[in-house]
Amino acid sequence: MKLNERGLLIVISGPSGVGKSSVRKALFDMPGQDLVYSISMTTRKPRNGEKEGVDYYFVTKETFEEKIKNGEFLEWANFVGNYYGTPREKVEELLDEGMQVVLEIEVDGALQVRRQMKDAVFIFLVPPSKEALINRLKSRGTECADELQERIDKAEKEYLLAYKYDYIVVNDEVNNAADRIMAIIRAEHARTERTIHKYVELMEGK
């Protein structure tokens, strides 16, 4: 029996190259999980194979900017001329259905969500060492030397924001990190402030 009927919003964040996507995928591959991945909205054009409402919600720039004005996003950003954001209404619907909603976003976006969703669970994913992060970024082969250094400099600034999160999880090995995050999710469901009202009703026979 679950005392906490409303779902949890789990925000997985951390510097670029720390392995957020890999850990999130391992988390979703775990047996018995009831997680759903929050679908973002974007103004960029769909790529081959991408589907509306599966990979992204595709909208025009004008529509996106109107939603910004109306405060309809938990977080949003402009990247290389295109907008990306997390629609608040969709997330709230899933939470009301009792689903565990996972956001995998950059640090700036996570801090935007933190200001709006006080009861969300914020997890800061870190590498086992600075050298490990640098090696991961280099192994991707997607940045030139200057871009690589920019990402490293940005990561060093983002590490200083770890205190704004509820948990810090070391990604020393992907499956280990996923196990730790699942343990956090299970523990959060039993937190007193999430369950006390239902518990009182149960004891009173309501």
Question: In this structure, is residue 130 part of a structural domain?
Answer: yes
Residue 48 above 60 pLDDT? yes
Query: 142: domain range?
Result: 9-38+99-203
Question: In this structure, is residue 71 part of a structural domain?
Answer: no
Question: In this structure, is residue 76 part of a structural domain?
Answer: no
Per DSSP, the residues of 14-42 read: -STTS-HHHHHHHHHTSTT--EEEPPPEE
pLDDT in tens, 121-148: 999 999 998 888 878 777 766 667 777 7
Distance, in Å, from the CA atom of 139 to the CA atom of 17, rounded to the nearest integer, reads 10
Looking at residue 143, its pLDDT comes to 62
Question: In this structure, is residue 78 part of a structural domain?
Answer: no
Distance, in Å, from the CA atom of 131 to the CA atom of 50, rounded to the nearest integer, reads 35
Question: In this structure, is residue 177 part of a structural domain?
Answer: yes
Tally of domains within the chain: 1
pLDDT in tens, 164-202: 999 999 999 999 999 999 999 999 988 887 777 766 776
Average pLDDT over the chain reads: 88
Question: In this structure, is residue 83 part of a structural domain?
Answer: no
Task: Write the secondary structure of 54-102 as one string of H (helix), E (strand) and C (coil).
Answer: CCEEECCHHHHHHHHHCCCEEEEEEECCEEEEEEHHHHHHHHHCCCEEE
CATH number of the domain that 137 lies in?
A: 3.40.50.300
DSSP helix/strand/coil, 117: coil
